[in-house]
Amino acid sequence: MALSKEQIAQRIAQELKNGYYVNLGIGIPTLVANYVPEGIEVVLQSENGMLGMGPFPEKGQADPDLINAGKQTVTVLPGGSFFDSSTSFAMIRGGHVDLTVLGAFEVSEKGDIASWKIPGKMVKGMGGAMDLVASAKNIVVAMQHCSKDGQSKLLKKCTLPLTGVRCIRKIVSDLAVIEVTEDGFKLLERAPGVSVDEIIAATEARLIVDGDVPEMKF
């Protein structure tokens, strides 16, 4: 069974380390705020000007003035702070973000990412993705392994305009956890009930498989 968006976020939350400053991109990445493991403290940063972002509010508890970069209502944890965009991007460009979680349209076996534009479709703007991929110390991509028409999104070479070059370290898709190595994509974990052969078939680029591949644990 392929993972739901919530399960992708739950698996990515396992990448969080105590003391991390983490930026969550629009889409699936925003769900990671709901699954921060107990016993660790991380500070979630939203590029529209917030530190200390918490999980999504419960029904009826939303404050319309508290939103993330995707215009979703969020909560703020004790000690949280607010600031302007220039300060927010100074944090990003200054290399102060330990981990960035981004969505993607495509990722290449070299670690290139295309995440901001599909030619012929309306583009609201590139957002902060280009700054994040150029400055973050560690980038994890949350994505669907294939498009709606069944085409692989993990490619030998991206076909869409690039957001960043050779910057992605790890991908968590609805089928697998994949590391981007010097030799290409390496399969680390598979979604429960999904076989290695199914993941290979869904990946256009060559996939390195080294021994038995464990299922993800939640």
Catalytic residues: 47
Phi-psi region of 7 (alpha: psi -120 to 50; beta: other; left: phi over 0): alpha
Length of the chain: 218
Instruction: Give Cα 26 distance to the centre of its chain.
Output: 9
C-alpha 203, offset from chain centre: 18
Which residues fall within 8 angstroms of residue 189, CB to CB, at 6 or more apart?
176, 177, 213, 214, 215, 216
Separation of alpha carbons 158 and 116, rounded Å? 13
Sheet bearing 21-24, strands edge to edge: 76-82, 50-53, 43-46, 21-24, 99-103, 139-143, 170-173, 176-181, 184-190, 207-208
